[in-house]
Structure 1
């Protein structure tokens, strides 16, 4: 199936459109679905193109997958909706969830490979009768805070407006994400109070969010994740043209090739292409990328503005980190929890105390997601939808 239309296909949006309005939709077949008399188990799926807001406050579009579960919701009240923000997939079109959810796996020679690893979490929600909408994000906005948050929020608005989806128009919602998805869910939790106050947000599950982009670069230096740095730099210059010259001046010819290569790869291919390489191998002057980005005022100011913690969530949050996380520095989510608590948010900090295994391999970062997400996270989510008072670790 061809990729659905995205932002570039709608250069001029109708002025009457509001954030969350649907531009078009098409049916999708979810991989491993089972046909039943009542519909394909676990869910009917539609890909939508919806109006949202870019980093500069202008209108743009994103795609998302709306999943309407076949099982009934057996909890309290109306069927709830989760706006699900996926972890790092890549910024190339074939890496989007709306593509991968149809096949679960993509491969392009010689070794660009990715899978829809979020399917187990999405499936657990659908099996309980929770509707799910999964944004593909605005194109080329990897870890761009405002754009990611808006895409998550407007995906929820769009799902509630989709005809015949069986999702209540003003029903309860939650945000969910881990890693890049945790960053997006945190951004949405901070932005929703001013951007979409009409939404009935019950809570946000925020797993291992990159809080500071500079700290992320420093902490992950020399590990498996340099390729994802290409996703971010490409997104940075796409969303903030004022940073383009600074990034171009930073990179060597090899670094510019790095941007072009990773922009066409999914996360598996980008990791394999640049695993264990130091970032200073791609800069002109031999400094690390974090050192150059921090020293240049053209990029330092943008990165400061994009840090999480500049506003407080208006609904309860479960915030997850772990001492074994070898991708996102665990000190940053801990500080974010303190910041949110200090401005009156209700935060349940889950801080796993596990040993580090093969630092730089991202094993610790990866295993923490199912350890919490398939156990405490699902229970916490159900409790929010069932009206149970939210726990808090705020002092």
Structure 2
């Protein structure tokens, strides 16, 4: 992209590669920079990927930005950056990055130490926004086109809570976020679900960890992560039956993108609408001529700008603006989707809730969430119940406020401790009781 520039490899730390895995290839001796933030050569995929989904491409240890010295090891644990092979929604092989965190705390439950795949919430679309990079770099602040905020990751509290319980964590960066070969396919149902499932496979393939092939697996995600975790639970039976999925926490999932698209327009998180459009065109290039016919110069410039932004940048720059300013006829993105059958068909293909999920799923959503609307997330839970799914639905009843962003993120914080405890109990073998029978009576 135009905002990425070549930088010298001398500016990068030496890469330590796990024995037996592919080293950073010679063609990646230089790395790119996104909005002034260097992207290490580790994130440049090799020309050829392994055949198996979830196969490790490379791995390296790194120091967590938030780490404390312990008696026998660092707290909350030790971290390794990973790259693994997955398959995108078009059936093509794709490299995905992430991080594996080995907890310092012991697992006190029955059986081997379990593994949770953490699917991050919205981080942005620039490669510098990837959670695995932010875990090492922390927060970078800058002003202007050549600097950027790097999201330290509001999911870090959930991650550290899981580690404190002795649960190993692997987080995925998703397709195209971090890796320098393509754009992030934001909220793409299949790409997100595959990235989550293959992260579990990759973690179990890592040498010298305390998890085993018998380790129970759980998924955890909120917002974008809730959608990815929910999609992964649906796709597990067909795509990854070898992943021993026990339980999934799906918080505020964007299950129906038509509803979400209309809701975020004009909100503090308008940038997410731009990332969605960019991601749709990355996944389905045939839609590009149609979309381009509606865009004016301002719209094209905005989508290009957003393609390298993190969530903090986008909130500061585009909060409260509307997608109708992007188009030649003043129509919003939601209006255009409704008017164009091919766009509507693509959006309909992203629906989560049409397939029975594996394992038990806890769906939590704020009843006053009007950014990722509560009604569409609840509809997903109802649809799963009708399909025979094992669903625990948890409405989070917080007072609504004037800010759509706060209505969305309030439940994340209010429910997080309960969600982590619920997932830990499931991984310890304690069953959950579905409330599908009473769901019609709940808000």
Which bracket does the TM-score occupy, shorter chain normalised?
over 0.9
Match for residue 363 of structure 2 among 306, 315, 319: 319
SS in structure 1 of the partner of residue 207 of structure 2: coil
TM-score by length of 1: 0.96
- The residue aligned with 2:255 is 211
SS in structure 2 of the partner of residue 105 of structure 1: coil
CA distance in 2, matches of 1:33, 1:359: 33
The answer to whether structure 1 residue 384 and structure 2 residue 421 are counterparts is: no
- The residue aligned with 2:343 is 299
Displacement of 1:221 after TM fit? 2.3
Match for residue 11 of structure 1 among 47, 59, 62: 47
The answer to whether structure 1 residue 280 and structure 2 residue 327 are counterparts is: no
CA distance in 2, matches of 1:287, 1:106: 36
SS in structure 2 of the partner of residue 245 of structure 1: helix
SS in structure 2 of the partner of residue 185 of structure 1: helix
TM-score by length of 2: 0.85
Conserved? CA contact 1:4–1:63, under 8 Å: no
Displacement of 1:391 after TM fit? 1.8
The answer to whether structure 1 residue 120 and structure 2 residue 157 are counterparts is: yes
1:249-288 → structure 2 map (5 Å cutoff): 249-288=293-332
Q: How many residues align?
A: 390
Displacement of 1:317 after TM fit? 0.4
Conserved? CA contact 2:49–2:57, under 8 Å: no
Q: CA RMSD in A?
A: 1.4
- The residue aligned with 2:19 is none
SS in structure 1 of the partner of residue 358 of structure 2: coil
1:161-200 → structure 2 map (5 Å cutoff): 161-200=205-244
Conserved? CA contact 1:160–1:170, under 8 Å: no
The answer to whether structure 1 residue 28 and structure 2 residue 62 are counterparts is: yes
Conserved? CA contact 1:26–1:48, under 8 Å: yes
SS in structure 2 of the partner of residue 39 of structure 1: coil
Q: Which runs of 5+ in 2 are unaligned?
A: 1-12, 14-38, 177-183, 438-443
1:94-243 → structure 2 map (5 Å cutoff): 94-110=128-144, 112-113=148-149, 114-139=151-176, 140-243=184-287
- The residue aligned with 2:10 is none
Match for residue 407 of structure 2 among 337, 340, 364: 364
Q: Which runs of 5+ in 1 are unaligned?
A: none
Report Cα offsets for 1:167-194 as digits up to 9, x if no partner: 2123100011000000100110100111
Displacement of 1:252 after TM fit? 1.1
- The residue aligned with 1:55 is 89
Report Cα offsets for 1:182-234 as digits up to 9, x if no partner: 01001101001111111111100000001111111112221111111111111
Displacement of 1:4 after TM fit? 4.9
Displacement of 1:125 after TM fit? 0.4
SS in structure 2 of the partner of residue 102 of structure 1: helix
Displacement of 1:37 after TM fit? 4.7
Conserved? CA contact 1:242–1:298, under 8 Å: no
Displacement of 1:355 after TM fit? 2.1
CA distance in 1, matches of 2:428, 2:207: 25
SS in structure 1 of the partner of residue 399 of structure 2: coil
Conserved? CA contact 1:252–1:284, under 8 Å: yes
Conserved? CA contact 1:92–1:264, under 8 Å: yes
Displacement of 1:12 after TM fit? 2.7
SS in structure 1 of the partner of residue 229 of structure 2: helix
Displacement of 1:107 after TM fit? 2.1
Report Cα offsets for 1:84-107 as digits up to 9, x if no partner: 000000121110011110132122
Displacement of 1:293 after TM fit? 1.7
Report Cα offsets for 1:253-296 as digits up to 9, x if no partner: 10101111111110010111111012101111111111102211
SS in structure 2 of the partner of residue 365 of structure 1: helix
Greater mean alpha carbon deviation, residues 165-174 or residues 178-187: 165-174
Conserved? CA contact 1:347–1:394, under 8 Å: yes
CA distance in 2, matches of 1:152, 1:4: 23
Greater mean alpha carbon deviation, residues 33-42 or residues 383-392: 33-42
Report Cα offsets for 1:101-127 as digits up to 9, x if no partner: 013212231384233211111000001
Deviation above 6 Å: which 4+ runs of structure 1? none
Displacement of 1:36 after TM fit? 3.1
1:59-78 → structure 2 map (5 Å cutoff): 59-78=93-112
Displacement of 1:246 after TM fit? 1.9
Match for residue 90 of structure 1 among 124, 134, 144: 124
